[in-house]
Structure 1
Amino acid sequence: MADLATVREWNDDEGWGVIDSPSTPGGCWAHFSHAAVAGAVTFTTGAPVLLEWESPGQDGYPYRAVRFWPSGSEPVDRANRPGNGGAYRSVLTISFDRDHDQ
């Protein structure tokens, strides 16, 4: 079950922020990859969100978000395809010409 929470701060450039709820005293670290929204991830300070969290903290915060989304909306699970976990993906293809003299 998700807790009603409030965005304390959000850094669009770095893709993370801190969310506060009565169940997560001291703050809950949140990364954009756990935002259950479609499209670009951005949140504003003071925005109400629904928060699912775990107790192993991150970056000095006692809690870490597992999933969060704007209050009043349904969570949108992002596609979970292999190779879709990073912010950057690259593919290198190497091909060799056959030696025609052989």
Structure 2
Amino acid sequence: MLAVGPEQIADWLRALPVDALPGIGPRQAQLLRDYGIHCVGLLAALPPATMQRLLGGRAGRLAADRARGIDPRPVAGVLRELEWLANGEVKLCRRAASRFVIS
């Protein structure tokens, strides 16, 4: 089980690859990687307007919000995704991977 406290959310998200974000599919992930955006932290650093230009209006807004830890869905709606992440199936960016233990 993975436990991330509220004070660690931004750092934990920052370490994930872009395709770990809900709503980012293979094509969008590849497009972002083509622009050098491979981790959620890099995605979160972009202005939302840039994300909208890259991914389209709604998808860009959702990606910008989720990269910053903003997700209006009820917690029960994301438990499956968090379980997937906690099972270690996601590779963290090397720089930040050492900060978290997934067991």
Instruction: Please report the TM-score for the alignment, with normalisation by the length of structure 2.
Output: 0.25
User: With CA pairs under 8 Å and 6+ residues apart, which has the higher RCO, 1 or 2?
Assistant: 2
**Higher share in helix:** 2
> Radius of gyration: which is bigger?
1
**Higher share in strand:** 1
